[in-house]
Structures are given as structure tokens and as C-alpha cells.
Amino acid sequence: MTEQTAIAKYENYNRIKAYGQSPEVMNTFVQLLGKTAPHYIQSALLAVQANDTLMGCSPRSIFRAALRAATLGLTCDPSLGHAYIVPYKNKNGEYEANFQPGWRGIQSMALRTGKYVYINISPIYEGEDVIEDRITGDLRIEYTTTVSKTQKGLIASFKLTSGFKKSIYMTNEELEEHGRTYSKSYNRSDSIWKTNKKMAYHKTILLKLIRTYGYLNPNETALLDEEEDGGIVDVDLPREDAVTAIESEPMSTSEINELFGFGDDEDVADGDFVEEPDFAPEPEPENKPTIPTPLLGEAYGVKTSDGKLYGEMTEAGLERMLSHMWKQLKQNHLEPEEKAEIERKIKAAQVVLAAKRTGEIN
């Protein structure tokens, strides 16, 4: 990143950050969310750091999308995949930010009802057939030939605490047809059906399963319906020129590069592991379950929020990602399950990075 580019990015980011941390915007978040408000504001800033196009969106639209996600109890931190702040071009050709729930967020909303034992989505590959028992309706997977790595569909399943369980299967073609029929944004070049098919497929089959056979909080279901039918419901956030700007301390170019994940690689010596940075974590309860260190094969298959395998990332990419995740753990408003997920990903990334440095994998 050149010095000029870094400074331009920082100026855009600082403008968005100043709006989000203004007393007027903070007050709106606190009124709706209480003491968790700073967590959701910070998750929006993490999303902006990870997406250059978002920096061209209006600050008001970014935090309106974040507030919409927050009302569903979903964080916009892109590493968790619960909800996304997505840039779209409006009728004037200008970028605005919209809220987009992720399938993991919908899964989390369902699990929060306390009615589910499990909810799961798995790929079905070429060489596998999904067979339905005509008496019970249960699905099973049979192997017809040598299984390839080509995915041909998805199977989604859940089990309720009452004992009821259900599974459905959709081929890739059926998922695409569902999108063409029911998604108003299907033909847009910037829709998830064009930019992130994996997320579109997972979200489609999960919503179909839960809405047809399962349970979601009715109020949350209504908000999801509004999102699909027309984007963001107006939230009373002030205009950019009507907030009290909070000035930030100026940053050096190296500090700006570090903010956006382009810190000097010299900080990590060859052959060393990326260790936890120096900060004093809060004492953990003695009965807290430990996060097991995964085997290399399992760690290799862990994916980033955009679907890239850890094992396919470069050493420099893994180092930057680890640095970002350690920073996330510093946040004081992480829910226990969010913190555990980040810790799990850190251990997986460390295993893969160690294997790459020893030559065990390329």
C-alpha cells in the first residue's frame, strides 16, 4: 500500500469512524441496545476496514445497516459471518451500504430460541445420492461412484428439543431457480447471487428449511422479510452534517498500514510463530472449556469469511489474519461463543502457518 493510498483510506475511514462514535449516533444505539451498543459500532468499523468499497459509502447508511443487524442480535464483524454490511449502487450511481444477514446469523437466531438441538448444512458431491425414506421422510446419503470434489447441492437438517427432526436437499440448479424466482436482487451484478454463491445457497436452503418446518422468533422473521422485500427500514440516524465530530489523534503511515492489515512483515521473524500480543486478558473462569488444537487436516480446511481455505493462504496472509484476530480478542463486548470461535480460528491458523514454515505443506 503506497503512502498516498494509505492516507486516503485512513481519511475515509476516520470520517466514518467519527460519525459512528459521535454522541448523537452513540445515543441512538444505546437507546436501542443498551450496554452492548459499543460492540455493534465496533463491528461496523471492522467491516469497513475489511472492504475498501464500503469506505466510499455514506457513514449514515453504514451505521443504519449496522443498527438493523444489531436489532436482530447480529454482529457485522466479517470474520464471524453473522451479518454483512454490503455496498450497493443506488439510483444515482452512488454507493450506499445495506444490511445482509448471513446464514450463520440466521442459524444463530434460530438457536437462540432454545427450541433446537442442532442445525446443520452440508454439501453433497458428485458421486453421492440423497435418498428419502418414503415412510419416515428421513434422508440418507448413498455413494454411487467415486465421490468427487464437485459440489452438486446442499442438505440442511435440524432437530428440535421436542424430538422432531427434518432434513431437505436442494441441487445447485434448484437453488439457482429459487433465487431467480424469489430474489428481487438476483440479476443485479452486486447481489450475493453473483458475488458470493456459497452464502446465497446456504442462506436459501436454511431459510426454506426453518420457515417451512422449524421456528424463528416472529418479530425477527418479520425483519428478515422486510430485508428481502426492499432493503433497510428507515432508522432515525442523523445526517452526517448534524453530528458532533470527535477528533482522533493523527496517525503515522506505519500505524495506518497496521490498522488496515498491512503492517511490516519484519515484525515477525522467519521461523517464529505469531504469538499473542502483549495485553493483559481478563481472568477466565476456572471451568472454562479449553479450545483443542486441531490436527493439520482439520486446520487446513477451515475457511475465511469469503470461503478461502486456510491451507491455501500465503504465510503473509495468515500472519495478517492472526494479527487481526488477536486484536478482536481485545474487545470487551464479545459474547462467549464469539470469543470461542475466534480462538478456534486462531489455533487453526497457527497450525497451518507452522506447517508452511516447516515445509510440511506448501
pLDDT digits (tens, 9 = 90+) for 261-287: 544 443 433 333 333 333 333 444 444
Number of CB atoms found within 10 A of residue 362's CB:
7
Q: What phi, psi does 311 have (nearest 5°)?
A: -65, -15
* Angle (deg, nearest 10), helices 37-49 and 23-33: 120
Q: Provide the pLDDT for residue 2.
A: 56
* Rounded mean pLDDT, 10-35: 88
Contact (Cβ atoms closer than 8 angstroms) between residue 61 and residue 90: no
Between these two residues, 62 and 184, which has the higher pLDDT value?
A: 62
pLDDT bin (cut points 50, 70, 90) of residue 148 is confident
According to the model, what pLDDT value does residue 271 have? 37
d(CA 193, CA 183): 9
pLDDT above 90 for 236:
no
Q: Give Cα 103 to chain centroid, integer Å.
A: 9
pTM, whole model, 2 decimals? 0.64
107-117 confidence digits (pLDDT tens): 999 999 999 99
Sequence-separated (6 or more) residues with CB below 8 Å from residue 335: none
